[in-house]
Structure formats: C-alpha cells, structure tokens
Amino acid sequence: MQEIIDIITFKTMISEQMLFVFYYLGAITVPFIIFLYTKNIYKPIQKNTPKVFMEILWRMMFEFLIAFLQIRDALVL
C-alpha cells in the first residue's frame, strides 16, 4: 500500500520504466503508421528515408528522456 501512496504523491518515479514500455510500443507501431502514411503520399517513388528518419528521432527522444531521468536520480539526495 505504501508503494501506491508513494507513486500517487510522486515520491517514487515510474517514468523510466514506463519509457521503456512506450519506446517499444512506439518502435513497433510508429514505423507501421509511417509506412501507411508514406505509401499513400509517395506512390510513384517509394523511399525508405522518411521511415528511417522517424525511427531515429523516436529513439533519440527516448534516449534523451532516459538520460534526463538518470541525471535527476543522480542529483536527488
């Protein structure tokens, strides 16, 4: 019960664990959505560049958030 109270009062941060879950959910669904979107726009020329670029941005965003949370944990006494 104390763990739930700590989560509700923000004494325990669940962000880093949830970032991994959302990263892998997005890593699976975002390329699929981008593929469907670019398939309709670029019918004559199907390139892989937008998909790869979006995957890199997705990964960099989560790496930044995880690093930010690790820095926060290091600074908290």
Task: Report pTM.
Answer: 0.53
For the chain, the average pLDDT equals 77
- What is the domain range of residue 43? 13-75
**What Cα–Cα distance (Å) separates residue 64 from each residue in 37, 58, 67?**
26, 10, 5
Within a domain: residue 1? Answer: no
Query: For the residues of 9-61, what is the DSSP string, one character each?
Result: TTSS--HHHHHHHHHHHHHHHHHHHHHHHHHHH-SSS--SHHHHHHHHHHHHH
Q: Domains in the chain: how many in total?
A: 1
Confidence band of 67 (pLDDT split at 50, 70, 90): confident
Within a domain: residue 20? Answer: yes
User: What is the per-residue pLDDT across 13-47, written as a single tens digit (0 to 9) for each?
Assistant: 777 778 888 888 888 887 787 777 776 666 555 56
Within a domain: residue 3? Answer: no
Within a domain: residue 54? Answer: yes
